[in-house]
Chain A
């Protein structure tokens, strides 16, 4: 990776630092890409100022997929600085269009599939550490969960910067050809299996001294009603109210 690519890659981890409702990731994006702008327009203060203003426009995408947009925009700005009259417009169009489309697919992959897989891996391995009663494997389980997410996430970010810098015209097409949907299905299936395994192992946790009936009932309620009620947090509140009412009415205890 070039020195510029390495700087863009490192700075891209701060993409969301200035996240706002109005501009989304614009501030972080402008700071991330700034070394590329300075390198491209260094001698031309007016052009550099105009480029910085362009990069402060609203922008949003999935942060782990942002490397591609950063790299491609940096390459197109360099072309514009070298005299390619249409490069600025292509950069703006690319940034707007690919940012939104990447956000959809990459949200589903990184947040909707890989993050549950990471947590499920940690929970599954942690449950077996609990059964053995040893602390070391528990932290190994958390580390395994972090690895499951971060290895592909960091790689995607790094390769995105590299591919975008190398060939901004075709980088998006190469990403679109990846079999992301099959990766998502596989990760979600694996997550569900691991969650069932962890739940079975954790049923005996002394802190969660729960009867199998309450656990099964809550699991079924969560699966069947969480979406309709707006999420499991509202069901937790409902469970508390029902438990209190049952206690007051018939002296029930969990």
Chain B
């Protein structure tokens, strides 16, 4: 896979991810949108849509903000869909696992960013106390830029590493490991759908 499309893909996912908890929220970062869009960009809409549906089912019950931040749904779905639509034809379950890993790493990066962003408000406060302009607009732009850059970095690393490693690694996996990965992938949408229906019933 050449580097340029992967970087463009990472940039697209990073732009959509801003909708998750920074701008909006319009649900443009949800897997049911990201999956088909990535699939369209890669020429395989149905594979992208199917992976989007799987990640949507797995993450729909989570709130987008607050204490619970297990997995970035946008990054997971975008990375998995991009890899699954690759001409190298990486097995879909391998793409699914790579997406899960990317989403998990991004969620950890997001936690760190949330801790670090407190300095922006404190900086605005200190500026006002010192009689200087608070620079609120510049601080908002800074927060958005750092968020997008972090998402881009995570996606680009996972797209590049997975594209390089998985096509060679996957055929060499022991049979039981490949079966385990396929079982997890096939069970995922139904586990997610069951979990969601139970959550809806409980809350209603």
Contacts and interface: CB of A to CB of B under 8 A. Distances in A.
A142 B32 contact: yes
Interface residues of A, number: 92
Interface stretch (A11-19, A72-80, A159-167, A168-176): A11-19
Given A53-B128, A111-B63, A232-B192, A118 B117 contact: no
B140 A18 contact: yes
A152 to B, nearest CB: 12
B154 interface: no
A20 B117 contact: yes
B114 interface: yes
Interface in A192-251: 192, 195-196, 198-199, 202, 205, 207-210, 214-224, 226-227, 231-233, 235-237, 239-248
B22 A16 contact: yes
A5 interface: no
The secondary-structure label for the interface of chain B is helix
A70 to B, nearest CB: 14
Interface size class of B (residues with CB under 8 A): 35 or more
A248 B134 CA distance: 62
A71 interface: no
A223 B120 contact: no
Interface of A: 13-14, 16-23, 26-28, 30-31, 34, 49, 52-53, 56, 63-64, 107-108, 111-113, 115-116, 118-119, 122-123, 126, 130, 135, 138-139, 142, 145-146, 149-150, 153, 184-185, 188-189, 191-192, 195-196, 198-199, 202, 205, 207-210, 214-224, 226-227, 231-233, 235-237, 239-248, 252-254
Given A17-B140, A240-B184, 18 more contacts: A14-B23, A16-B23, A18-B143, A19-B117, A27-B139, A108-B203, A122-B33, A123-B56, A149-B26, A219-B194, A223-B197, A226-B61, A226-B194, A235-B191, A236-B187, A239-B184, A246-B179, A246-B183
Interface of B: 21-28, 30, 32-33, 36, 40, 45-47, 49-50, 53-54, 56-58, 60-65, 70-71, 92, 100, 114-118, 120-121, 124-125, 128-129, 131, 134, 136-137, 139-140, 143-144, 175-177, 179-184, 186-204
